[in-house]
Amino acid sequence: MNTASYNLKDDDVKEMDMEGDLMYKALAVCSSLEDFEKFLNNLPRPMRVEANFGVIDAKGGAAYYETNNTGFVKVDANDPAIAPQGYLVYTNFSYTGRYNEGMGYIRQQNALDIISRESMFSQITPHWIFNKLSRSFYHSFMGTDLTSPESSPERFTGWVLDQDYIPRRSSTASVAIQGVKPGENPEMTIMWTVLGYPPAGVAVPVLLKAGAPSVLVKNTRSDNAPACDMALALKYKTFSNKRGSGQRYMNFNLIYNSNRTGYMQELAPAEHYIETLFKEPIERWRRDGLNVNELLQYYKDADDAVSSAYLSLTAGR
């Protein structure tokens, strides 16, 4: 994966934004961090990128590579001198870039506060990441959390400025890659995926074999997957004011409220059902090997759960 960095570029190269092309090529030839480093070293310069590339492998490797047109710096998550707590948090700047330039400092602090406060008492899972980070409306700079009664927009009009929260109007998805331990079959790498807008989306797993659940796949009726379109429809309601600077404000009561009728609250049971649905078979497949036919049936069950959740939600409005 990559996050755009805005404090690494130190040249006047005009043609940029080749991060997706770089990752596509790397995935075809790399199976380890060492492979990725060789790949970067052998690319022609300029590389036409300015990004933090996050990489994990099936051998326990995990690192970010702060990369610009001419080179890269590896930031190793397994190095206790760099990541003493065992994790790294990135937004849209690089640690080795120009000081105080770039973007995402407040969003990074939001995540750091949450992780440092809760990781000692919680198991870090994909769903923990979605619920505690991707859908968090905690704001470290203001010291508020929109889901808490004392900071709730329900006390006022319900509208609030969408600024420096982890989920943003521009957010298009949230993805958590659940890797494997050394010695486990890499086929059991799982991409848990929330499409569209994380506060209005549902997490569904995708394994390397047997394609993906149909709700995550583009069809002939739209340029997006159904799960994406259903989440976007809710996001557009949340950001419905189009006049002037009104598009910067969200109607937070639609996302979360004390009556528990917010999108985030009403969709939670469907996500929990899917998490529970896959828990036992994933553990079994890690031990005994993947059963593709069984996986396809679970995909169908997940499709039905997602579609049903959105139908129930919209029918009640």
What DSSP letter does each residue of 257-292 carry, written as one string? Answer: -TTS-SHHHHHHHHHHHHHHHHHHHHHHHHHH---H
Give yes or no for a contact between 250 and 159, defined as CB atoms under 8 angstroms apart: yes
Closest CA to 228 of 241, 240, 215, 238: 215
Find where tokens 């049971």 sit: 269
- Token pair, residue 79, equals 């190095």
Closest CA to 70 of 28, 114, 8, 24: 8
Rounded to whole angstroms, the Cα distance separating 236 from 137 reads 18
The identity of residue 77, as a single letter, is A
Half-sphere exposure of 39 (CA within 13 A, CB side): 20
Contacts (Cβ under 8 Å, ≥6 apart) of 214:
226, 299, 303
Rounded to whole angstroms, the Cα distance separating 147 from 264 reads 11
Find where tokens 């609030």 sit: 160
Rounded to whole angstroms, the Cα distance separating 177 from 205 reads 9
From residue 201, how far is each of 55, 98, 153, 222, 227 by CA, in Å? Answer: 25, 36, 21, 17, 7
pTM for the complete prediction?
0.94
pLDDT tens by residue, the chain, 317 residues: 999 999 999 999 999 999 999 999 999 999 999 999 999 999 999 999 999 999 999 999 999 999 999 999 999 999 999 999 999 999 999 999 999 999 999 999 999 999 999 988 888 999 999 999 999 999 999 999 999 999 999 999 999 999 999 999 999 999 999 999 888 999 999 999 999 999 999 999 999 988 999 999 998 999 999 999 999 999 999 999 999 999 999 999 999 999 999 999 999 999 999 999 999 999 999 999 999 999 999 999 999 999 999 999 864 45
Q: Is 155 helix (H, G, I), strand (E, B) or coil?
A: helix
